[in-house]
Amino acid sequence: MLFDPGQPEKIQPVAHTFDYFLAGLKINYIAAPASTGWRYLDWYQHTGQYLVDQPEEFSQSHYNEVLEPNKVDALNSLLKIPPTTGCIKFAPASVFYSGWSHADYMLLFTGLIKKYALRLTFLDGWQTSLGCVMEFCLAVENKLPCFDLSNNKISCAVGLTMIESVLPKLLAVNLPIDKLQNCVTQLTEAVVK
């Protein structure tokens, strides 16, 4: 059961709802950048870094230029992904709950992957998103198959290379990479096994 009484109170009704509607089903989990991705890197480099000291303007610009377009892209991608026998498509990047932190979303979505995912499909730019990278690590750990939008399999080694190639780009605009680096370490250990 995805719902856990020990979860933060704001997550419980959402987890309970997913358990109700997904009971007996499996999902093709569509991992897409929500608040990050290539769009975020471009926005941060040209706009966001200049708004860091203006939280309201930063948030509004980020929502308009990154979050909303990423949500639209995630929903449009559902039309491009062919159906998979035995599961329904689920795009969490299109889900937004006011007041939720990244940790709240990850608690819910990692639970969804563990309980309901049959496979994961990663959209363009996933390797720039901490959430998507964490979902990729979870998929590797749970031996769930991962694919790109063209239905090409993404192996652990290929995913690792994709993530590593992004790190210098993040550093170039002074974005933190420590959590991504932790995922790189985890995936490197998985490749060596």
- Is 173 a member of any domain? no
- Is 50 a member of any domain? yes
Strands (E), 64-104: 88-90
- Is 94 a member of any domain? yes
In the DSSP assignment, the letter for residue 10 is: T
- Is 88 a member of any domain? yes
Q: pLDDT at residue 78 above 90? A: no
pTM (2 d.p.): 0.90
- Is 184 a member of any domain? no
The structural domain count of the chain equals 1
The domain of 98 spans 12-154
* % residues pLDDT > 90 (the chain): 64
- Is 125 a member of any domain? yes
Residue 57 burial class via C-beta count within 10 angstroms: exposed 0-12, middle 13-18, buried 19 and up: middle
In tens, the pLDDT along 100-118 reads 888 888 889 999 999 999 9
In tens, the pLDDT along 154-174 reads 999 999 999 999 999 999 988
Distances (CA, A) of 101 to 8, 106, 108, 188: 11, 9, 11, 28
Residue-level pLDDT at 1:
53
Rounded mean pLDDT, 27-39: 93
Residue-level pLDDT at 2:
63
Residue-level pLDDT at 190:
87
Q: pLDDT at residue 147 above 80? A: yes
Interhelix angle for 55-62 vs 38-46, to 10°? 140
- Is 190 a member of any domain? no
Q: pLDDT at residue 5 above 70? A: no
Residue-level pLDDT at 101:
87
* % residues pLDDT > 70 (the chain): 96
In the DSSP assignment, the letter for residue 7 is: S
- Is 115 a member of any domain? yes
SS3 119: strand
